[in-house]
Amino acid sequence: MSDPAAGFSLELSSDLREMRDWVHEFAASVIRPAAAEWDEREQTPWPILQEAAKIGLYSLDFLAAQFFEESGLGIPVAFEELFWGDAGIGLSLVATGLAGIAVTANGTPEQIGEWLPLMFGTPDDVKLGAFCSSEPDAGSDVGSIRTRAIYDEKTDEWVINGVKTWATNGGIANVHVVVASVDPALGSRGQATFIVPPGTPGLSMGQKFRKHGIRASHTAEVVLDDVRVPGRCLVGGKDKLDHRLARIREGGRGGEQAAMKTFEASRPSVAAMAVGVARAATEFATEYARTRVQFGRPIGQNQGVAFQLADMAASVDAARLLTWRAAWMARAGKPFDRAEGSMSKLVAGETAVRVTEQAIQILGGNGYTREYPVERWHRDAKIFTIFEGTSEIQRMLIGRTVTGLDVR
């Protein structure tokens, strides 16, 4: 049997290069020209979603093709290009995928086949999906989730009550995927994931958040008030849940908790988003330094500027390599024994914040105005050190693998 590592290469296949160039063209011609407008409007960019759906970019087929691409680099390459265009619009285009991952990671083939298409809709009728995990008192501490799901045997329904927060597409999505506790005594091990179908009574949108960055992406609370979903909407099915809970109560292992399994699968993808923003800022600042003349020469000839650009370029490439490594490992089925997924997100997120700040500094006063995109990129970049696991959480996970101790 051949070793998959023996065929490892950093050279993208012709199919990946073609896909990358196609997505980049969309980002350059459609996303970037509209980015400032939708940032100011702080609304979901439905016209851009529709344009993406018409060409097959916003679709289940495209997401699945990249998710199952043999090298594991399909999603990172595509996401980097989209977020090079704009992070807010990019997130509106890919957030449905997080809900899709939550179902795909634990769901049955029947659930995947039924619900994923409804998350995307059609080019003529675009839909969204939303993954709902965080709560007002349970952000990084997903084990403190209070949303409760109780099984009603008479009707074969689950009754869900609680409030979710920081939900991308929350309240406006067609399909909501909700993490809830089915046995609070077991803490995080007593959680399960539920699909809330379109139009289910009792689900409503709470507060819509006005954010520092990624403002073209809708973020809101989701209120669940006696929401009843059919038994078939328990991701993975009741037999699997009952078996897992029984094993835990007998002192056995319960496997990964629902929310953390979704986050772990998505970390290299989120890292790729941050790489896209950092790359955009680096490219823009580099071109500015080539053409901005002060004291009779381009400012890029000054070591103080050139050295910053050198550090920025090296940091972006380093973040991309960590991201590609994690994505390749995940696709090859190699365990993250050294928290390689967390490493990619930590480094990429921190790089995006630092590099976009440096870009503002290189542009000087111009960089601080909304006439230039670097200030928006800096605002957008900060989210990558916060959502999908803060930088502190990533360091804790990495620290555990480095020390072998239960770092808390």
Residues 250 and 269: their CA atoms lie apart, in Å, by 36
Q: Is 138 helix (H, G, I), strand (E, B) or coil?
A: strand
Structure-token pair, residue 3:
């070793």
Residues 308 and 25: their CA atoms lie apart, in Å, by 28
Of 264, 350, 375, 388, which is the active-site residue? Answer: 388
Could you tell me which of 386, 395, 361, 391 has the C-alpha nearest to residue 375? 361
Residues 23 and 52: their CA atoms lie apart, in Å, by 10
Q: Are 90 and 82 in contact (CB under 8 A)?
A: yes
Q: Which amino acid is at 343?
A: M
Q: Which amino acid is at 65?
A: A
Residues 103 and 235: their CA atoms lie apart, in Å, by 6
Structure-token pair, residue 322:
């960590």
Q: Residue written as tokens 């680096």? A: 282
Residues 278 and 265: their CA atoms lie apart, in Å, by 22
Residues 83 and 293: their CA atoms lie apart, in Å, by 30
Q: Is 81 left (phi over 0), alpha (psi -120 to 50) or beta?
A: alpha
Residues 388 and 172: their CA atoms lie apart, in Å, by 20
Residues 4 and 11: their CA atoms lie apart, in Å, by 15
Q: Residue written as tokens 């091990």? A: 189
Residues 141 and 8: their CA atoms lie apart, in Å, by 37
Residues 110 and 44: their CA atoms lie apart, in Å, by 30
388 a catalytic residue: yes
Residues 52 and 117: their CA atoms lie apart, in Å, by 16
Could you tell me which of 186, 200, 195, 248 has the C-alpha nearest to residue 228? 200
Residues 8 and 332: their CA atoms lie apart, in Å, by 11
Which residues does the annotation mark as catalytic?
388
